[in-house]
Structures are given as structure tokens and as C-alpha cells.
Amino acid sequence: MTRHAYINDFLYVVLRLADSSDGDVLIFCSGVNITRFRALTRGLHGLSSNPAIRGLQRVKHAVTGLALSEGATPRAVRGKECAGTAPTDETWYTEIMRIEGSPPSLPPLIVPFAVSGLVEKILTGCCLNIPVPSPLPGPAELQSFFESLIKP
């Protein structure tokens, strides 16, 4: 499996093989840039209700469900499995998961599923009546989309 990644200055979702894997153990890395999303959420939310953070938590649960439906076994991970993934030195909130027993059909599904779900949850949480861009744009285009939503 090649590494599947979607990274911009607002968010990232990366799926890669675990370092000690024989091919069926994956590491799911995801993060949201709290600094950048603060402008979009307009500071109206506390950390426990921030749409970007809550969205990322909910997406991790959705990816868990997707992995289970494909016969894989998700496992909680703590540590530095995804250190260095965030593209900026701003404040990031991250979620990590190990997926064991992944069939070959699962990896290509996870990243677009997670990014689309995250964008939808963030837009809804910010009370923005804006549909998720479809088809999912590339990382640079999605970054421009988020930047266009920020009011000076």
C-alpha cells in the first residue's frame, strides 16, 4: 500500500502502514489546525465544543465504523505515531488510530471518507448553510475554500 494523504494548512488525514506491519496494519493520522479554524468558528465555542475538534472526534468514530464494516479491527493509539505530519507550527488537535487486519479495499476509501465527513461536520457546527464541495477538491483548493469563508 502506498501512503494516502490529504494535507493542507487547515487539516490533514493520512493513512500509512504501521512501521512493523506486514501490510495489513495501518496507522490513521488526522488533525485540525485550531489556530486557523478559530477564525472560521469566530471564537464562539469552547475547546470541548469547537466544531473542528468535535468534528475530528466524530470522524474518527465514523472511520472506526467503516473499518469494522470492512472486517478490520480499529485500536486506540497513544504516542507519537504521527509526529511531524502537521504542515505548520500552529496549534493542532490530532486523533490517531491503528487499524489491524485491513483488507486491500479499505485504504483507498478512508481518506476521502474522513475528509468529506470532517468538512461536513465543521460547516454544520459553524452553522454555515454551505454544502460540502463535491467532488472533494484537492487539498490546496479546500484550503482556499476555507479561507474564503473567513470574514475579516
Give me the residues of the chain with pLDDT under 50, please. Answer: none
How much is the pLDDT for 19? Answer: 82
Mean pLDDT for all residues in the chain: 90
pTM of the prediction? Answer: 0.92
Nearest to 17 by CA among 104, 113, 139: 104
Distance, CA of 141 to CA of 133 (rounded, Å): 10
CA-closest candidate to residue 67, choices 26, 121, 7: 26
CB 26 within 8 A of CB 15: yes
Which helix (H) or strand (E) covers residue 53, if one does?
helix 51-69
pLDDT digits (tens, 9 = 90+) for 16-60: 998 876 678 999 999 999 999 888 877 666 656 789 999 999 999
Q: Report the C-alpha gap between 32 and 118 in whole angstroms.
A: 9
Contacts of 47 (CB under 8 A, 6+ apart): 53
